[in-house]
Amino acid sequence: MGNRIATINEDALKTECDVLVLKYAQALYGIDAAVALILGLAYEWTQIKPGDHRLAPSNSKLGCRNVLFLGVPTLDDFGYGDIRSFARRALALLPTLNVAHSVVAMTMHGVGFGLDEREAFTAQIAGLLEYFSSASPGEAPDRVLIVESNAARFRRISTVLAEIDTSSAEAALRGGQATRPALPDAGVASDSKRLVFVAMPYTEQMEDVFEFGIREPVNAAGCLCERCNRDAFTGDVLDRIKSRIGQADVVVADMTGSNPNVYLEVGYAWGKGVQTLLVARDGEDLKFDVKGHKCIFYKNINHLRRQLTDFVGRLLAK
């Protein structure tokens, strides 16, 4: 909304702000674990039940003045609607804490444990806009910074933010009105959207294949596109993968490189009766029983993108 919400590409530990907002998903992960370590917070201090919160001064050990931890459900239960509620709730809490909150920073949520990047980010922005649209004059922060250290993801979410029409929300703020602006439906209608789960090697070499060859055409068709990074995921990743495959409308599996985990996920999808589309780079030698299964062999990313656009279109027509 104007420049009230912005994305920045840097380390959240170094971001200069009044309050850094973090979630506590019934365990410490990633940046919240790093912050707890840097500030020397006792284990008992960080046990925050869903709905509760705790505020800690940074004592100049971080770029922020204070850190606000919000208790949320476990990662397995933290979905798009929870992300939206988290963002709204965080801003609503700030005026009650008796600390400066002109500039607030928060990181993205959901991507590290497999949620659709665009849907998760849009849900977060929608939660912020919900608060801004009803906040009393003087209560809302001047700026909210979404901090992302990954340069490629920063560029993608900046593009998404630029696409969101926040003018009505900004007008409501200027006039001190409580009028609710038109908001994105992420976090509200997410569960009604068709889900495409992607099984593929999670390597740097395959990142562009996922982002441009798979995720973009899937998102463009109005579907969610999820995948799980086995290396980055904290918790029982196998249970998470099985759960999302079981809920998927279709599984897209890139067989390039004969990754054993991908073959395992394809077998599970077949066992669950989930529609499965195999793709692979041209020249890939498929193994085992998948040899007799239809597979899209793509020459390059654009070739894959065109074929997936056609496939998803036919899927939605059913």
pLDDT band with cut points at 50, 70 and 90 for residue 42: confident
The pLDDT score that the predictor gives to residue 167 is: 60
107 versus 30: which is more confidently predicted?
107
The pLDDT score that the predictor gives to residue 300 is: 94
Percent of the chain with pLDDT over 90: 64
Q: Is residue 152 a contact partner of residue 207, using CB atoms and an 8 Å limit? A: yes
Q: Per residue in 43-55, pLDDT tens?
A: 777 789 999 999 9
The contacts of residue 96 (CB under 8 Å, 6+ apart) are none
39 versus 28: which is more confidently predicted?
39
Average pLDDT (21-38) is 92
| The pLDDT of residue 69 is above 50 | yes
Helix (H) or strand (E) holding 260: helix 260-271
Q: Is residue 215 a contact partner of residue 121, using CB atoms and an 8 Å limit? A: no
The contacts of residue 42 (CB under 8 Å, 6+ apart) are none
3-state helix, strand, coil in the chain (%, to 5): 45, 20, 35
Architecture of the CATH domain 193-316: 3-Layer(aba) Sandwich (3.40)
The pLDDT score that the predictor gives to residue 217 is: 94
Q: Where are the beta strands (DSSP E) in 169-216?
A: 195-199
Instruction: Tell me how far apart the alpha carbons of residues 16 and 103 are, in angstroms, rounded to a whole number.
Output: 8
46 versus 114: which is more confidently predicted?
114
Q: Is residue 153 a contact partner of residue 146, using CB atoms and an 8 Å limit? A: no
β 275-281/295-298 pair status: parallel
Q: Which amino acid, 108?
A: M
Instruction: Tell me how far apart the alpha carbons of residues 306 and 48 are, in angstroms, rounded to a whole number.
Output: 47
Is the pTM of the predicted complex or chain greater than 0.75? yes
Rg, C-alpha atoms of the chain = 21
Q: Per residue in 203-262, pLDDT tens?
A: 888 899 999 999 999 999 999 999 987 655 555 677 888 889 999 999 999 999 888 888
Helix (H) or strand (E) holding 220: helix 216-220
pLDDT band with cut points at 50, 70 and 90 for residue 1: very low
The pair of structure tokens assigned to 185 is 């439906």
Question: What values do phi and psi take at 184, rounded to 5?
Answer: -60, 150
Instruction: Tell me how far apart the alpha carbons of residues 127 and 75 are, in angstroms, rounded to a whole number.
Output: 19
| The pLDDT of residue 278 is above 70 | yes
Instruction: Tell me how far apart the alpha carbons of residues 257 and 201 are, in angstroms, rounded to a whole number.
Output: 8
Q: Per residue in 151-186, pLDDT tens?
A: 999 999 999 999 886 666 555 545 555 444 457 889
CA-CA-CA-CA torsion sign (48, 50, 52, 58):
positive
| The pLDDT of residue 312 is above 50 | yes
Domain coordinates in residue numbering, the chain:
5-175, 193-316
Instruction: Tell me how far apart the alpha carbons of residues 72 and 256 are, in angstroms, rounded to a whole number.
Output: 37
The pLDDT score that the predictor gives to residue 88 is: 96
132 versus 82: which is more confidently predicted?
82
Q: Which amino acid, 282?
A: D
Per CATH, 5-175 and 193-316 having the same topology is answered no
Q: What mean pLDDT value characterizes the chain?
A: 88
Q: Which residues pair with 106 in a beta bridge?
A: 21, 146
- Residue recorded with tokens 């990074």: 229
pLDDT band with cut points at 50, 70 and 90 for residue 99: very high
169 versus 272: which is more confidently predicted?
272
Residue range 5-175 forms a domain whose CATH class is alpha beta
The pLDDT score that the predictor gives to residue 2 is: 53
The pLDDT score that the predictor gives to residue 225 is: 96
Average pLDDT (74-103) is 95
Q: Per residue in 13-24, pLDDT tens?
A: 999 999 999 999
Q: Which residues pair with 296 in a beta bridge?
A: 279
188 versus 1: which is more confidently predicted?
188
